[in-house]
Amino acid sequence: MSQPFAATASLEDVTESIIFPPGDIFSDEPPLESDLHREQIDLLIRLIKWWWRDRQDFYATGNLTIYFSPNQKKSEEFRGPDFFVVLDTEKKDRKSWVVWQEDGKYPNVIVELLSNSTASVDKGLKKQIYQNTFRTPDYFWFDPNNLELQGFHIVDGQYQELVPNESGWLWSQQLGLHLAVYLGKLRFFTPDGQLVMLPEEEANQQLEQTNQQLEQANQQLEQERQRAAILAERLRNAGIDPKS
């Protein structure tokens, strides 16, 4: 007589025996540390997607699980970077990043947001994994509370600390952008030093420029009106009717 199923196989065994269809493995990340962390992640994602809005060859996301088990098991090897970008891949929504379903690709850029509970891991174990297993070329960490920012780039298989430029910005070779703290947030800057803006920031900037142009035009009109009034007064003083 066969034994009950529960006695012969654990739930974990059953889960491990399931062959997940491509794209059918869900992310399994814990809640974020704070609103600051959530807002910072959302900001980075929105910025890079807007900056590269005409590109279809990248994937950018945050707080999403990366499954990378060599045995293709979702419970063995996984990490959930706070923000990461994969280049030369299809731009589409995903439930998680499963390395063996993505042609073996790992992130090109990773940003971890530090907190009291994660800083030691982000600076130690995760850095080691991103260097030795992921081989992620650019790795940064940022603390939304004290604004600590540090970056690394792989050279000969080892992370070398990035040296800030004269403005204190760190260069991401993979993104072709600088990373820097601006108004208390981690932001991107172009190679020529321009802030990468959100669409609403661009709209506000254009509105401000338009308002400035209108103000300049009004000032020029006022100056012309004053010059015309002075000329008319001079003509009247000379006995000439300026209206004739």
In sequence order, the 6+-apart residues with CB closer than 8 A to the CB of 139 are 109, 110, 111, 112, 127, 130, 131, 151, 152, 153, 159
Measured CA to CA, the distance from residue 124 to residue 130 in angstroms comes to 10
- Report CA torsion sign: 70, 74, 77, 83: positive
For residue 141, which of 102, 110, 117 has the smallest C-alpha distance? Answer: 110
Q: Which residues pair with residue 182 across a beta bridge?
A: 185
For residue 113, which of 33, 29, 179 has the smallest C-alpha distance? Answer: 33
pLDDT band at 23 (very low <50, low <70, confident <90, very high): low
pLDDT band at 207 (very low <50, low <70, confident <90, very high): low
What's the pTM value of the predicted model, to 2 decimals?
0.76
Query: pLDDT, tens digit, for every residue of 144-185?
Result: 999 999 999 999 999 999 999 999 999 999 999 999 999 999
Q: What is the DSSP letter of 63?
A: S
Amino acid letter, 134: F
Q: What do you get for the CA distance between the two ends of the chain, in Å? A: 120
What stretches of the chain show up as alpha helix (H) in DSSP?
A: 5-8, 11-17, 35-51, 119-123, 125-129, 199-237
